[in-house]
Structure 1
Amino acid sequence: MMLLPRISRRKHAFMLQYMRANSIRLSSTAHSSTNNQIESNVQDSFTRRSKFWIPTGGITATENEDAHAKLIRAGYLRQSHAGIFHMLPLGHRVLEKLERLIDKYMHQLGASKVSLSSISSQALWQQTNRLEGYGPELFRLTDRKDVPYLLAPTHEEEITTLVSKTVKSYKSLPLRLFQISRKYRDEIRPRQGVLRSREFLMKDLYTFDYSIQSALSTYEQVRAAYSRLFNELKLPYLVAEASSGDIGGDLSHEYHLPTPIGEDNVISCNSCDYVANEELATTRLGPLEDTAPSPDSGDVPPANVWRGISKDRSTLINVWYPASFSDNYINTYAIKLVLPELDASLNNPIQYWSSSEPRRHVHLVNIVDYRLGSPFSNTLKTNSNPEVLLPSDTNIDLSTITTEYVVSTRDGEPLNLLRIQDGDNCPRCSSGKLKVQKAVELGHTFHLGTRYSDPLEAHVQVPSNLIEDKAVSNSTSEMKTVSMQMGCHGIGVSRIIGAVADHLADEKGLNWPRAIAPFEVVVVPGKGLENDGVIVSEYLANSQGSRPLDLLLDDRPESLPWKMRDADLVGYPIIVILGRGWSTDRLCEVQCRRLSSVSHILLEDLPMYINHLLTQL
């Protein structure tokens, strides 16, 4: 037998035993065709590429190929319909690892896992006044008895109903239930693959407490668990103060991964810990005299107008702002703070200003950005010219409508109606400047309060001293019925796959963090070294003690360059190559693209070296 590198007696004995059991010897020359496929009497402790379906090949890389295209070309998923995808074996392994990771941190919170039905009752959604508000994104259906149902995009109504029927005593609280399930949203324009799809996997954690104090403590525990989870993924995430939107509640945070393909804007300060999403972000406004003529000058600055309309089509909206900006700078979130009934979903609201259909009680609201100053506002209020206040192709008689002018918030603060820009002043500290980053939302935590427990009657009996913070004056305490305090905490499971793929991909292919990589290590033997690849794979798979490596052996009879290109595309964290260095000096070439590392390692040192690399991934 050819001499092996010096190794410990235990490892040497293992290798000898394995080789004797399988009649294998290490060789630097090509094996005969009868030995290319090794018949093993024991089950492999690693995965063979020849027995694991990865449909690669046949798809040509395009110029400026994005991460979603790489996921398809590498064999992780395939599109079945618009915005709907099949997960293939590689993608499923990533999902399974991500789910196990999430399970670990949810169990640390004391949460129990459930699996709620994807079908929900429309009647329940009517009870919480969400059925119509959610809009056309709901997939609706009826059964043979014409009972209306929907495919759930979220499960607040169902989980609240379940808990309200089963929990009556405060002693059962706090209660924490989570699930990882398929959700459905009829996106008008599905895009960017699994980042914005019509069917997706979500993790929902629902929490129930009997007091606000307990619920807020739970909320902070969940936030800490989320931070530990994203830290293990080694992602550069941002935690932003956020609006609760249609979900409800008055406290929420979003967890974002900065990326140029993100649909959200996250604003952060370069000096303090201020981070907020665009809906909630503010800026410290400069003195008015720095941006507009003084009130005494009489000068009226040039202005542009952005037009909108209310959801009920009864209110027409003019937003006036400096002519040095364009409509792209308009912040619809800021407008909705002044006029919540604004329909911000319309691409062309002007068409709804037409007078072809008779209207009653039409209302025109003029909202003026603070940068234009009081000279502009005063001039606008005295101007009744329809050519100024209405679009040119609208034949509405100004005398038939009521007109309102809004120049400040209800608190008397000036109106900043333009989107925050890089370099704007931080609202929290005196020296900081704001930075705007595109980002993908990966998770969201909500304190819901009694938003769902009130309408769905999720009540519990609690001793009054526990919720009123009073000392017990005697052996008995008056029982009081209260609505449960709820929290909802989501993670976009399938979205994380798309976001991580985009964040770490390079020109060669995908890259994965160790925590969710489909395989941690791939062993790629050169032509004629397939048997040696088995020896190395078995040695690695059995050299890690209680934490065995998740390893794939590429045992296909293809050329080494071909298999290397395939390995780069799939994005295994560590690639072990048996090539010329193995044949001559028994050295394994170890590549880690994310760490820009290429080393030649003796077999006896290989397990420790690989583990060292993996701890950095």
Structure 2
Amino acid sequence: MLPRSIPRLSKVWIPSGGFAVPGVEDAHSKLVRAGFLRQSHAGIFHMLPLGKRVQDKVERLVAKHMEESLAASRVSLSSISSEALWERSGRLPNIAPELFRFPDRKGSAYLLSPTHEEEITYLVAQTVRSYKDLPLRLYQITRKFRDELRPRHGLLRGREFIMKDLYTFDTDLTSALDTYEKVRAAYSRIFNDMKLPVLAAKASSGDMGGDLSHEYHLPSPFGEDNIITCGSCDYIINEEIATTKVAHEICQADHVGVWRAITKDRSTLVNVWYPTRTIRTNTGQVREYTNSDINIYAIKPLVPDLDASVSDATEFWAAATEGPDATAKQLVNLFDSRLPPSFSDSSKGSASLPMWPDTVKSGASTLHVQCHGSSTNGGKPLNFLRIRKGDNCPQCSSGTLNVQKAMELGHTFHLGTRYSQPLGAKISLPPPSSSEAKPSTGDSGTSKTVSMQMGCHGIGISRVIGAVAEHLADDKGLNWPVAIAPYTCIVVFAEDNYDDAVEVYKRILNGIGDQDERLDIILDDRQKSLPWKLKDADLIGAPVIVVLGREWRIARRVEVQCRRLNINEVIDVNNLPSFIAELHLRL
């Protein structure tokens, strides 16, 4: 028997699903089959021992950088929040459909927090009073809850998930922006430690608030977001706010299409007129477009209440124009800047263009008609088509754009006073010196009270696990980076080599020791055949597999396998520690 102090897979509960794979298997299915997790309910998962080890390692890595790079203090906020706080911040109406809400026995309204801006701001507001207490950095790693309408892709879009939140509090805008850049640098180090090619893309702040944010995306064909990058400059941006140069494209009058949408309150029909065929004046390149190329994000600033979930607006619009409860009020026409000027000018009053759907009765034509020209109030050309590979970069003169699918792993926001002001998180600044201008109150020598400048910065721990699994999995199984692998090295051997496996284990441990704190070895002593263990080690995704097979019996040499680096070498046992240490650095 092996000593109890040596880690053994026979002592770990790994409910493997076997090796038969029905059809094409995605990474989430591999996580289930390899025994990392099981679904509890729709969008909710139990983490099993292997999954919990990965989760713990991601958490430890993130916590290390929060504390060492940013001097942040760890807290643990309650998962239950008061709806009253969310009403004070003004966020409750917009986010209500995604919340798990419940009353207590006294009828007080509570919710399960999807995020903690309100709670942390209220906590700090009750505690911090002076500029001397700032800057303040507080972070937590905790469970969050969001009632997703359609949970999907396993851990990538769940209703319960693990999240790291960092909340920062500063005295002024300059300090807050400096903190923001330090957080961005820390995020780069975190993802570099995982050897992940993460892109930091400018992004919309959405309901979170503030006017500066970045998303951290892992390029992947399985991603839900489109990230736009330039091949010649540092332009990296989410498709939601990306732009492109359209000045070199023209459209003929007979190559015009219309895409119809409707507002959520069913009061407004939106016609988006766009080019179905364009010609680039500088290259002569012809491009074809259809309704599927419409960019919803470019339309929403002009029609904030747009219902993007409706695929056929005419059906809803027909109902909105009939009966005593008809909601239809106006028609909005939007014109892409590439359309001929004569088109948009004549269409404002033209009866020949199909402004109204065929299914709408003529009485609807008495509604108010509103038109938007081919440029915004700021003078920028309106472009209602999604960016394609090869479009011109708006930031540099020579670059062309690339479009990549990607999975979001984190998000940083500069919030300013979005939450500190309504929730009363204020500090007193010192009185100005005699050489400084008097404070705004006009009272010489008195202190000034201001709202704290805030930032919030998240990393989805659960999403990292699901995204890394998807990014690195192959047809044999999962393939973890050393930094977060459940075990960085599995020693596989036949049943009659127990004592030899212990010797190899000790040689590796003693040879590397404290040189690599990530070293995490385990022996596969399960009562299975050697081929079965090798397949299971591949499925589990161990970065390094050490095999005691035929070469061990002949010359006391081991076979070292590293699928990610395409390595399969026979190594003398004396050289094994240094060889594994080198692999760890590359993985």
Q: TM bucket by the smaller chain?
A: over 0.9
Amino acid at match of 1:336: K
Cα contact 2:266–2:327 (8 A) shared by 1 = no
From 563, 578, 602, the counterpart of 2:533: 563
Q: Name the counterpart of 1:492.
A: 460
TM-score, normalised via structure 2 length = 0.93
In the TM superposition, residue 608 of structure 1 has moved relative to its aligned partner by: 0.9
Alignment of 1:292 with 2:251, yes or no, is: yes
Q: In structure 2, how many angstroms separate the alpha carbons of the residues matched to 1:364 and 1:478?
A: 57
Task: Give per-residue Cα distances to partners, 1:404-424, cap 9 Å, x unaligned.
Answer: 110120123221010000000
Q: Give 3-state SS (helix, strand or coil) of 2:533's partner.
A: helix
User: What's the % identity of the aligned pairs?
Assistant: 57
Q: Name the counterpart of 2:569.
A: 599
Q: In structure 2, how many angstroms separate the alpha carbons of the residues matched to 1:270 and 1:360?
A: 48
Alignment of 1:611 with 2:581, yes or no, is: yes
From 105, 118, 131, the counterpart of 1:170: 131
Q: In structure 1, how many angstroms separate the alpha carbons of the residues matched to 2:19 and 2:127?
A: 53
Q: Give 3-state SS (helix, strand or coil) of 2:491's partner.
A: strand
In the TM superposition, residue 521 of structure 1 has moved relative to its aligned partner by: 0.5
Q: Name the counterpart of 2:296.
A: 332
Amino acid at match of 1:102: V
Cα contact 1:443–1:492 (8 A) shared by 2 = yes
In the TM superposition, residue 101 of structure 1 has moved relative to its aligned partner by: 0.3
Cα contact 1:208–1:215 (8 A) shared by 2 = yes
Q: Name the counterpart of 1:53.
A: 13
Cα contact 2:245–2:394 (8 A) shared by 1 = yes
Q: Name the counterpart of 2:56.
A: 96
Amino acid at match of 2:28: H
Shifted more, 121-130 versus 573-582: the winner is 121-130
From 115, 121, 125, the counterpart of 1:154: 115
Q: Name the counterpart of 2:286.
A: none
Cα contact 2:17–2:32 (8 A) shared by 1 = no
Q: Name the counterpart of 1:13.
A: none
Q: Name the counterpart of 2:205.
A: 244
Amino acid at match of 1:570: I
In the TM superposition, residue 464 of structure 1 has moved relative to its aligned partner by: 5.4
From 153, 156, 180, the counterpart of 1:192: 153
Cα contact 1:232–1:515 (8 A) shared by 2 = yes
Q: Name the counterpart of 1:368.
A: 335
The gaps in structure 2 that reach 5 residues or longer are 278-288
Aligned ranges 1:50-89 → 2 under 5 Å? 50-58=10-18, 60-89=20-49
Q: Name the counterpart of 1:31.
A: none
Alignment of 1:301 with 2:268, yes or no, is: no
Q: In structure 1, how many angstroms separate the alpha carbons of the residues matched to 2:87 and 2:315?
A: 31
Q: 4+ residue runs of structure 1 moved beyond 4 angstroms?
A: 468-472
TM-score, normalised via structure 1 length = 0.88
Alignment of 1:265 with 2:221, yes or no, is: no
Q: In structure 1, how many angstroms separate the alpha carbons of the residues matched to 2:421 and 2:17?
A: 56
In the TM superposition, residue 348 of structure 1 has moved relative to its aligned partner by: 4.1
Alignment of 1:420 with 2:384, yes or no, is: no
Q: Give 3-state SS (helix, strand or coil) of 2:64's partner.
A: helix
Q: Name the counterpart of 2:264.
A: 311
Greater Cα radius of gyration, structure 1 or 2: 1
Q: In structure 1, how many angstroms separate the alpha carbons of the residues matched to 2:431 and 2:268?
A: 47
From 389, 400, 405, the counterpart of 2:366: 400
Q: Name the counterpart of 2:284.
A: none
Q: In structure 2, how many angstroms separate the alpha carbons of the residues matched to 1:470 and 1:425?
A: 48
Q: Name the counterpart of 1:296.
A: none
In the TM superposition, residue 123 of structure 1 has moved relative to its aligned partner by: 1.3
Alignment of 1:532 with 2:493, yes or no, is: no
* Alpha-carbon distance change, 471 to 585 in structure 1, aligned in 2, over 3 angstroms: farther
Task: Give per-residue Cα distances to partners, 1:432-474, cap 9 Å, x unaligned.
Answer: 00000000011110000011111111111112549x98699xx
In the TM superposition, residue 167 of structure 1 has moved relative to its aligned partner by: 0.5
From 439, 446, 449, the counterpart of 1:481: 449
Alignment of 1:434 with 2:398, yes or no, is: no
Amino acid at match of 1:499: A
Q: In structure 1, how many angstroms separate the alpha carbons of the residues matched to 2:376 and 2:585?
A: 52
Q: In structure 2, how many angstroms separate the alpha carbons of the residues matched to 1:270 and 1:188?
A: 37
Cα contact 1:74–1:570 (8 A) shared by 2 = yes
The RMSD of aligned alpha carbons is 1.9
Q: Give 3-state SS (helix, strand or coil) of 1:272's partner.
A: coil
Task: Give per-residue Cα distances to partners, 1:32-77, cap 9 Å, x unaligned.
Answer: xxxxx34x3xx42x41011111111347312221111111111100
Q: In structure 2, how many angstroms separate the alpha carbons of the residues matched to 1:135 and 1:389?
A: 35
Q: In structure 2, how many angstroms separate the alpha carbons of the residues matched to 1:79 and 1:509?
A: 19
Task: Give per-residue Cα distances to partners, 1:569-591, cap 9 Å, x unaligned.
Answer: 00001000001100110001111
Q: Give 3-state SS (helix, strand or coil) of 2:422's partner.
A: coil
Shifted more, 408-417 versus 246-255: the winner is 408-417
Q: In structure 1, how many angstroms separate the alpha carbons of the residues matched to 2:513 and 2:124?
A: 43
Q: In structure 1, how many angstroms separate the alpha carbons of the residues matched to 2:471 and 2:182?
A: 28
Cα contact 1:301–1:322 (8 A) shared by 2 = no
- Give the length in aligned residue pairs: 564
Amino acid at match of 1:69: S
Aligned ranges 1:92-241 → 2 under 5 Å? 92-108=52-68, 109-241=70-202
Cα contact 1:207–1:486 (8 A) shared by 2 = yes
In the TM superposition, residue 145 of structure 1 has moved relative to its aligned partner by: 1.5
* Alpha-carbon distance change, 210 to 500 in structure 1, aligned in 2, over 3 angstroms: same
Cα contact 1:305–1:321 (8 A) shared by 2 = yes
